[in-house]
Structure 1
Amino acid sequence: MSTIDVLIVEDDRRIIEINQKFIEKLEGFSVIALATNGEQAKELLAYTKPQLVLLDVYLPDMLGIELVWHIRQHYRDIDIIMITAAREIEMVYEALRGGVFDYIVKPLIFESFQERMESYRNHLKRRDRGSGIVDQAEIDLLLTRGQPQNKPKETVMPKGIDSLTLEKVIQAVSQAREAGVTAEEVGKLIGTSRTTARRYLEFLVTEGRIRADLVYGTVGRPERKYLGQL
């Protein structure tokens, strides 16, 4: 199987660098072009003809969904994976209607990104091998992107960690972006004590889902800030 050429469409330069570094770690993928807005992406699509587009929803000049439908109209063989902070259900449904292969919510974690990209690569391998008539089992495998059906993941949370509160903490860290957020700030945002917020934050740090930095102020002890592990 030949190398999969990737076009990254993202307006945040820092996120572009992260996505590019992640791609460079994967065997069989190559970033061939970068676009920071929709019009630039349209120009690059016309002459680079990538196999895969990594696309953000919020671009300076248009919604990424508009670019999805442009690709579907003009480049039916190009696949799309959305990588975005957009969690609106309408946006997800519209992306699915546009035939995107996957929809990944920021902040990115390399292990999760790697798993999804490998799923895409395996999907291409199955497609390239396929010919003639397929049975229902093969159709089901294609429709589910090769993911097992009827086998929900069982997530066992450690004592003192509630999944709903954990999701609120993740959102608080994600919204803070590169500025980071303290345990006290998270506690105020989600309505818990500083101690409770810190317990959840430290759990996410140990899981590798966020990172912690020490920020030194002008007076007093250094402050521990938490940032998304993009």
Structure 2
Amino acid sequence: MIQVMIVEDDPMVREINSKFLKRVEGFALYKAVSNLDDAKKYVLANKLDLILLDVYLPKENGLDFLKWIRGQEINIDIILITADKSIERIQEAFRYGVVDYLIKPFNFERFKEALLQFKGRYDKFKENDVIEQQDLDKLIASQNTGVSRQEDDFAKGFNKYTYKAIWDEIEKNNGKDFTAEELAEKLGIARVTIRRYLEYMEKENKVDKSVEYGKVGRPQYKYHKFNKIF
């Protein structure tokens, strides 16, 4: 059973997230707190696997707690749950190792998807002492492209939230050429995943790809958004 702590100051949101958690098999709520002092005390005294962490707390910031956990070298995974949509905040969160980022308001299916993707990786690592590169690549790809069973209206094997994040970033590029590597760095998503989505968008005629040959090394693929309305 995966042991979870919720850090959320809003009693109503805390209750909703607690009820959502109970609906996902394999997870157990061990503690729900409203401030970072209580969260730190509980983390230091108990063994936890996952924290559902709000960013905006009264006179506190959940990212400071995330950084504290990393500084203390405490082995706990974190999913951020916040209304903050800024790319800067999202990038910072992924750089400090969050496994997912849920933007309020979200529905149960997105919440469940985040937990099940985490559980898939958690179980895989718990069952094995070592892992081969090809198996690790599949695991990373599945974490970034996992699709909810309820998403029948979207292409199989793709995640609509990941698709939207990538497309929104492309639109912000104002028609300039870009590479998969540049998108991966901005969004904190694996390059192999970015390439899969770009290939799909190319088939949709939303982006075009060209090859740039340098003097040394492999040719570089550059993409740009088609200048038309879709």
1:35 lines up with 2:28 in the alignment: no
Runs (5+) with no aligned partner, structure 2:
147-156, 162-167, 169-230
Q: Secondary structure at the match of 2:30?
A: strand
1-structure distance, mates of 2:61, 2:7: 11
Counterpart contact for 2:54–2:81, Cα < 8 Å:
yes
Calculate percent identity across the aligned residue pairs. Answer: 36
1:140-180 deviation digits (Å, cap 9, x = unpaired): 2344453449x65579xxxxxxxx9xxxxxxxxxxxxxxxx
1:126 lines up with 2:127 in the alignment: no
The normalised TM-score by structure 2 is 0.61
1:46: how far off? 1.2
The one of 129, 137, 140 equivalent to 1:140 is 137
2-structure distance, mates of 1:17, 1:67: 21
2-structure distance, mates of 1:119, 1:14: 25
Runs (5+) with no aligned partner, structure 1:
156-163, 165-230
1:46 lines up with 2:69 in the alignment: no
- 1:74 aligned partner: 72
Q: Secondary structure at the match of 1:70?
A: helix
Q: Secondary structure at the match of 1:121?
A: helix
1-structure distance, mates of 2:121, 2:131: 17
- 2:204 aligned partner: none
Counterpart contact for 1:84–1:106, Cα < 8 Å:
yes
Q: Secondary structure at the match of 1:55?
A: strand
1-structure distance, mates of 2:116, 2:3: 14
Residue identity opposite 2:127 in structure 1: R
What is the aligned-residue RMSD (CA, Å)?
2.4
- 1:9 aligned partner: 7
Distance 1:72 1:130, change over 3 A: same
- 1:94 aligned partner: 92
- 1:22 aligned partner: 20
Counterpart contact for 2:6–2:52, Cα < 8 Å:
yes
1:24: how far off? 0.9
Counterpart contact for 1:37–1:61, Cα < 8 Å:
no
The normalised TM-score by structure 1 is 0.61
2-structure distance, mates of 1:110, 1:133: 32
The one of 39, 61, 64 equivalent to 2:62 is 64
Distance 1:142 1:154, change over 3 A: closer
Counterpart contact for 1:56–1:83, Cα < 8 Å:
yes
Q: Secondary structure at the match of 1:146?
A: helix
2-structure distance, mates of 1:153, 1:43: 36
Residue range with higher mean Cα deviation, 138-147 or 59-68: 138-147
- Aligned residue pairs total 153
1:73: how far off? 1.9
Counterpart contact for 1:4–1:30, Cα < 8 Å:
yes
